[in-house]
Each structure stands twice: as C-alpha cells, then as structure tokens.
Copies of this chain bind each other. A is one copy, B any other.
Amino acid sequence: MSSATISSRRVYSGRVINLDVDRVRFPDGSEGELEMVRHPGASAVVPFLSDPEGVDPQILMIRQYRYAADGYIYEIPAGRLDPGEEPEVCAARELREETGCTALRMDRLFTMYTTPGFTDEKIHLFMATGLTSGDAERESDEFVELVPMPLSTALAMLERGEIQDAKTALGLLYAAGFRTNS
C-alpha cells in the first residue's frame, strides 16, 4: 500500500510471499496496473570469526541450496523478518538459527531494495562480531553448509564471479570498506 494505491487485489497468498495486482495513480495523474510481490523484509549478516580490524580477518560464509539457482550458492546468513521484529533482532536470530553462532555486537552496514520493479522487499545488512558458536536450528527446507574463510578469499571469489548473490556481494564490499574506514 502507498499513497498512490487506488485499489489492490490479492492474486496469491503464499508461505513466503503474497502477490498483489494494484491499480495505481502515477505521478502524472494517469492510472495503471502494477504487479507487486509483498514481502515482510529480511536481515542479512556478515559474521566475523576474528577481529575485523586484524590482518585478513576470518568470516563465516554459507553454501545454501537455492532452487532458483538450481544448486548450492555462496551467501551470508539471512532470513525474513518475523511480524513486528526489529531488523537487528532478526539478524541475530537468523545467524543463530543458520550457524549456531551468537554475536556480542551487531553493526548496521546498509539497507537495500532487492529489486523494486516488482517487490517491496528490503534487506537490512549487518556485520556481527564477538561470535560464540553453538547449535544451529535450521528449517526443514534449509540446506546450509558453513564455510569459514578469510575475507580476502571471499572478495576474490566475488571478483571471479563465484559469488553472485546481491546481498552477499554488498555485505562483503561494505564489510571490507568498514574495515578500511574505521
């Protein structure tokens, strides 16, 4: 919903997303229909296993099965906001559920629209430091392998096109910049 909404028709209600077809008033006063995937938003987190100010710190990447990519791809831990949940709380929860780790500190890096042409999804990016490991609690359709690696290795994989997930690419570049600037 927005100030431009004239009417909204839900054409699909799903487990992860809902799809609306909305009648919209455009900036020039004309009207049209738009398809809009409604999403609650998500948080994603770059987990540092060693001091982010140290030489080439260790981070915790994941390899996750993605049907959309027809296989496993490299990502950072992430997941959807629960109703009313703060992005930082979601980031800590998803980190714990997917990797078993709890973080002493969570710093916000960036908030991104994933693809605003057809969805209102926003992802909030964080970096986590001061990690303690524990047991993961994954959902039954989550297939995740933990892959600790130096940040420099992740950046090299990004440069070679071996990392293609947008939130992961931005998280890594911001985490690398955060180190340089701080």
Q: Report which A residues bind B (CB closer than 8 A).
A: 2-4, 11-12, 14-17, 19, 21-22, 24, 26-28, 30, 32-37, 39, 42, 65-70, 72-73, 110-123, 140-141, 143, 161, 164-167, 169-170, 173
Contacts and interface: CB of A to CB of B under 8 A. Distances in A.
A37 B37 contact: yes
Contacts of A110: 161, 169
B170 A24 contact: no
B141 A26 contact: yes
A174 to B, nearest CB: 9
Contacts of A169: 110, 112, 170
Specify how many copies of this chain sit in the oligomer: 2
B170 A116 contact: no
B68 A116 contact: yes
A118 B17 contact: yes
Contact of A67 (B15, B34, B123, B140): B34
Given A15-B35, A28-B143, A22 B67 contact: yes
A118 B16 contact: yes
Contact of A167 (B16, B65, B119, B166): B166
B113 A73 contact: yes
Nearest to A69: B116
A67 B17 contact: no
A121 B36 CA distance: 15
B19 A166 contact: no
